[in-house]
Amino acid sequence: MSQAAAASHELSELAKESRMGAMGSVTTAREVRRIDLGDFDRRKAEIADQLWDAAVDVGFFQLANHGIDLARMRGAFAMAERFFALPEAVKAQYPLKKALNAGWESRAQVRPSTGTPDQKESYQITRPHMDGLWPTEDELAGFQAAMLDFEARSWQVAMRVLSCFALKLGFDSGFFTRAHDPARPSYQSTLRLLHYYAIAPEAQTQIDLWRAGAHTDFDCLTLLYQRQGQGGLEVLPGKEMETQAWTPVPPDEDAITCNIGDMLMRWSDDQLPSNFHRVKNPLPGDYMGPRYSIAFFAQANRDAVIEGPGRKYPAITAGDYLNQRVAANFKGY
Ligand SMILES: O=C(O)CCC(=O)C(=O)O
Ligand SMILES: [Fe+2]
């Protein structure tokens, strides 16, 4: 593919996204498959087959027996809630560095699909870029240590899944692990804490706002932790986007919900499709309280070179790839 064709490929991803802001309809006919990672080393070949099939068919899947226990996950959520409960003036000391995916923002992410700011605040942790961005121990004791620990455990789970995809793509098992090496300054995987605001009574019929507008993720693989009772996530496989029929993914604390991002789609020569997803505002009659979620984005290191087994697209570094995508998604940073 020529440079010009590659550029228009990027543009077409954006154009695709900008058409996805409509309500659409809801279907529960799709199955979001659950894959058991238990006894991983012995069952790896079988697990790799199951992950591949789920990823190719729907693109979203859930992991069971993934090795992060419930108490630890709840602890991470408790810390996240305490962070978001800090006074605005404290959080504002740690503003988002957009190009580095690090720091705090509120109502600043405008998705091309909706043109309105997501009704949320988020705090992003990207290891090499956190200087000056951690709340002090006085402000929130234990936060930094707990979050770095949770980030590392999430990385482990993501690398297990990616090692399966590596095998299926004809790479060696450690291929993606090397490309996501946390010891290098070019590391750019991100743990993102999310808080979607409770809906004020006067806003409860405002269906034109989105907690998170429809989008695909930019990364290789996203792990998403959800809280019991705090639903709203809906998915739409890329290959079925014309149907505009969305499938809810109800939260289940025992499972980690996963989706393929655009970076792995490109790296797999489009064999593994990225998928649209969104978080809808509650409708009248739904739970109107706050929603918390935590996402881990496995994004290859900036200097990792993305080139698929069949070389369908020109090689590009993961840094250049992300710069193009992030630039289009935030306002005022
Ligand atoms: O909070 C969620 O359930 C989804 C978040 C998400 O899709 C994102 O931050 O990319
Ligand atoms: Fe997402």
Per-residue pLDDT of the chain (333 residues; tens, 9 = 90+): 444 444 445 545 555 666 677 778 887 778 889 999 999 999 999 999 999 999 998 889 999 999 999 999 999 999 999 999 999 999 999 999 988 899 999 987 777 777 777 788 999 999 999 999 999 999 999 999 999 999 999 999 999 999 999 999 999 999 999 999 999 999 999 999 999 998 887 777 666 677 878 889 999 999 999 999 998 899 988 778 888 889 999 899 999 999 999 999 999 999 999 989 998 888 888 888 999 999 999 999 999 999 999 999 999 999 999 887 776 565 443
Q: Which domains does the chain have, with CATH numbers?
A: 3-132+145-327 (2.60.120.330)
pLDDT at 113: 73
pLDDT at 333: 38
Which residue has tokens 């996203």? Answer: 222
Q: Select from 60, 119, 194 the residue to mutate for testing ligand 1; criterion: most ligand atoms less than 8 Å from CB.
A: 194
Phi, psi of 73 (to 5 degrees): -65, -45
Kindly give the pairing relationship between strand 60-64 and strand 33-36. Answer: parallel
CA nearest neighbour of 304 among 166, 165, 171, 175: 175
CA distances from 194 to 3, 38, 65, 183, 331 (A): 36, 28, 24, 26, 18
Question: Is any ligand 1 atom within 6 A of the Cβ of residue 256?
Answer: no
pLDDT at 18: 65
Question: Is any ligand 1 atom within 6 A of the Cβ of residue 214?
Answer: no
Phi, psi of 26 (to 5 degrees): -115, 135
CA distances from 152 to 325, 327, 330 (A): 25, 27, 27
Atom 3 of ligand 1, residue of closest alpha carbon: 233
Contact 313, 266 (CB under 8 A): yes
Burial (CB count within 10 angstroms: exposed 0-12, middle 13-18, buried 19+), residue 216: buried
Amino acid at 191: L
Question: Is any ligand 1 atom within 6 A of the Cβ of residue 120?
Answer: no
Question: Is any ligand 1 atom within 6 A of the Cβ of residue 272?
Answer: no
Ordered DSSP codes for 125-140: E-GGG-TTTSPPTTTS
Contacts of 145 (CB under 8 A, 6+ apart): none
Which residue has tokens 């369908």? Answer: 312
Kindly give the pairing relationship between strand 233-237 and strand 120-125. Answer: unpaired
